[in-house]
Amino acid sequence: MIGWAQRIGTGFATLALMLAGARLGLSFAQDAPEGYVFKVNDELVLTNVVARDAKTGELVRGLKQSDFSVYENGKQERISTFDFETVEMATPLNEATISGLAVGSSANKAAVVARPEDLRNHRLIVMFFDLTSMQPEDLDRSVAAAQEFLRNKMQPADLVALVSLGNTLKTDQDFTADKQALIKEVAVYNGTEGQGFAEGATANTNQTEDASGYTPDESEYNDLNTDRELFALKAVAKSLEKITEKKSLLYFSGGIQRDGIENQASLRAAINAAVRANLAIYSVDTRGLQAVTPLGDASTGSLRGTGAFNGGSLTNNMKANFATQEVMGTLSTDTGGKAFLDSNDFAPAFAQVQRDTSAYYAIGFRSSNPARDGRYRKLTIKVNRPGVKLEYRPGYYAPADFQHAGKEDRERDLEEQLASDLPATDMAVYLDALYFRLDENRFFVPVSLIVPGSQIPFVKGSDKDKATLDIIGTVIDEAKRPIGQARETVKLNLDPALQARQKNIQYTTSFNLPPGKYRLKFVVRENQTGQMGSFEAEITLPEMKKASLKMSSIVLASMRQPSKKTSPLVRGGEEYVPNISHVFRRDQHLYLLYEIYSPAREKPAENQPKGTKAGINLLSSLELIQGSTKVYETPLVQARAINVEGRDAVAVELDVPLSGLKPGQYVCQLNVIDDAAGSFAFPRFAVLVKEALVAPAAAVAPQ
């Protein structure tokens, strides 16, 4: 639940779940009346078909829509769209650069947007250089092969784009027919042009055993790095969805290492995105032809034990090498491309791309299977002409709704939303963060989240209302590093009498953080429909050494609950539940809690005995102001001694019954005076008082 936070020394300390609607006083709309909703699933499935003569391999032209039959899982489908494209009919473009890619940061000049009809009959080729996986010599080979293609093999109908993955995913050159611009940009990758050696080039090395037969476990690194590469491929594919023509991606990589099914969800997501974008991936293993030896390559330590003599080490190395190529092969096969492995000549990869996209039939159909189950659907395409061989993608994954998504897919969706710059707005989420000093270099930061119960689709189970919420959150420091994480699945099993749909669900957690400025982001998903909501907030934990009055956040609460926890929010066995909305009812109390740290000590009187401890003198009161009129003030509360042992702190509690106040908005001013130091603070905040749910029998004015 908190593995990352534990490793870096920040904690996920508490978890509290409560029904807080009546206590918080927030009003939300009731469930909408039930009605009939008609939904249509009308997604076009596109596939490209290359027809060749079975004997000569020559392209077969002149076929019509009536010549083809399309089958999905053995069932014939009706062809909706049909087109034939060939580079021989390409119209020259006046623009030098065509806007198509929108991933990462683009290094090229502002691009112009071509009309869809302008791109017809052109080859759209993306060269993707995965710098994170290639050794320098691999990079040299791939750059040389790309430049050779651009100089001598690139044709007028070809539009090429350049993408690289180093520390970040970048569009280095958008689609263009300018050979010289492409050659110059490619040369940057290996330092033969411009800014020097490309950054981020590392290798996924083979592993060998030591004397005990132990193989170093790099699974966590491999999982993270492979997910990053697959996410990058998915991002490129999604950016190309708006271009309907067939696209080809040449993926230059030194191999992708994954462990079993750990990256299965990421791999499937990358393939699905490519298929939806009509993008075929052609993988090129830039390591070329390799000699797998029992002793491993130069990147591994010396081998001990008997593995070099009994074949065990050689078998391990061959398996590891195959594993780095397996993902590349899957990406190519499932997207209609081809993988080029174990060869030092990369020219056939470029030739294959040109060959597959020189002329093809674009066939589209709308599946008669409405199920959004995410399952693989096999495609079979037949032609009524004898002696014709067809080349096409063997199938695709059906769209999946939330109910059919697997555990890995659901977790990936949460993590993607957490990393997204765009907020999730399917459901409302509210967040507030407070702070209390634990010592000079550490703060306790409680975080409260609220989700309106009206937006949670509770399911009736036996005699309970049931629902499940997934919650994920992160804390980012000023250097944009994640220094704390929270992950929790909360199962609600509530009595219907509580009327949860008319109330709010509140979740609390906490972190221990040093002074500084932080950004918090939390994502909440309800697991019936998969709807998500997110909330971001910033919090600054101050350096208090030079402050004249060292004070914590002010906790406003409408309830206190019994608790045995040790926390700054717990006083006298009762925990203050933060009211993050500042909305109260007249039948509630306004509870305040805050702390003063290292208060000044008074000088002992001359007539006091020696050894008498110096006392403190803290004074506090709360004023409620409406308009320009002070309508209420609490009696003065005086603190003469430290009451939070071990933290040199004074915790101050105020209790304001609200039954004697009229409904309306109030400005609250908290008066805090350290009389011994001559320092003071007068923080202000707004509260809203609403009518009671049930009018009290007798209204008693606050005392």
- As a whole number of angstroms, the distance between CA 483 and CA 443 comes to 14
- pLDDT, residue 438, reads 94
HSE, side-chain direction, 13 A CA sphere, residue 275 = 29
- pLDDT, residue 270, reads 87
48 vs 43, 118, 520, 679, CA distance in Å? 16, 19, 46, 77
More confident residue, 315 or 296: 315
> Is the pLDDT score of 199 beyond 80?
no
More confident residue, 215 or 626: 626
For the segment 177-183, the average pLDDT, to the nearest whole number, is 89
Instruction: Give the class (CATH, top level) of 549-703.
Output: mainly beta
- pLDDT, residue 169, reads 87
198 vs 101, 129, 165, 220, 531, CA distance in Å? 21, 11, 10, 25, 41
- pLDDT, residue 23, reads 29
More confident residue, 205 or 51: 51
- pLDDT, residue 246, reads 85
Residue 382 makes CB contacts below 8 A (sequence gap 6+) with 68, 69, 71, 390
- pLDDT, residue 651, reads 95
DSSP state of 149: I
Alpha helices in 29-115 (DSSP H): none
Instruction: Give the class (CATH, top level) of 1-31+429-543.
Output: mainly beta
More confident residue, 20 or 361: 361
Token pair listed for 281 = 């991936």
For the segment 583-599, the average pLDDT, to the nearest whole number, is 94
More confident residue, 411 or 25: 411
Apex 406 CA angle, 467 and 281, nearest 5: 145
Instruction: Write down the mean pLDDT value for the chain.
Output: 79
| Per-residue b or e along 171-204, where b marks 16 or more CB atoms closer than 10 Å to that residue's CB | bbbbbbbbbebbbbbbbbbbeeeeeeebeebebb
Apex 639 CA angle, 636 and 641, nearest 5: 170
- pLDDT, residue 97, reads 52
- pLDDT, residue 98, reads 55
pTM, two decimals, is: 0.58
Taking the CB of residue 157, how many other CB atoms lie within 10 A of it?
A: 21
More confident residue, 93 or 557: 557
- Burial, 526: exposed, middle or buried (Cβ in 10 Å; 0-12, 13-18, 19+)? buried
DSSP codes joined into one string, 2-50 = -HHHHHHT------EEEE-HHHHT---PPPPPP---------EEEEEEE
Taking the CB of residue 608, how many other CB atoms lie within 10 A of it?
A: 11
Q: Is 44-100+138-206+217-397 in CATH node 3.40.50.410?
A: yes
**Is residue 347 helix, strand or coil?**
helix
For the segment 370-386, the average pLDDT, to the nearest whole number, is 88
- pLDDT, residue 305, reads 54
> Is the pLDDT score of 206 beyond 70?
no
> Is the pLDDT score of 251 beyond 80?
yes
Confidence bin at 200 (pLDDT 50/70/90): very low
Domain 44-100+138-206+217-397 and domain 549-703, same fold? Reply is no
Q: Percent of the chain, pLDDT > 70? A: 77
For the segment 99-125, the average pLDDT, to the nearest whole number, is 61
Confidence bin at 217 (pLDDT 50/70/90): very low
Confidence bin at 340 (pLDDT 50/70/90): very high
> Is the pLDDT score of 436 beyond 60?
yes
- As a whole number of angstroms, the distance between CA 505 and CA 501 comes to 9
N- to C-terminal Cα separation, the chain: 46
**Is residue 349 helix, strand or coil?**
helix
- pLDDT, residue 32, reads 35
For the segment 266-285, the average pLDDT, to the nearest whole number, is 87
For the segment 510-520, the average pLDDT, to the nearest whole number, is 94
Residue 613 makes CB contacts below 8 A (sequence gap 6+) with none
- pLDDT, residue 36, reads 36
- Give the start-to-end residue ranges of the domains of the chain: 1-31+429-543, 44-100+138-206+217-397, 549-703
More confident residue, 421 or 361: 361
For the segment 450-457, the average pLDDT, to the nearest whole number, is 87
For the segment 462-469, the average pLDDT, to the nearest whole number, is 84
More confident residue, 196 or 406: 406
- pLDDT, residue 310, reads 52
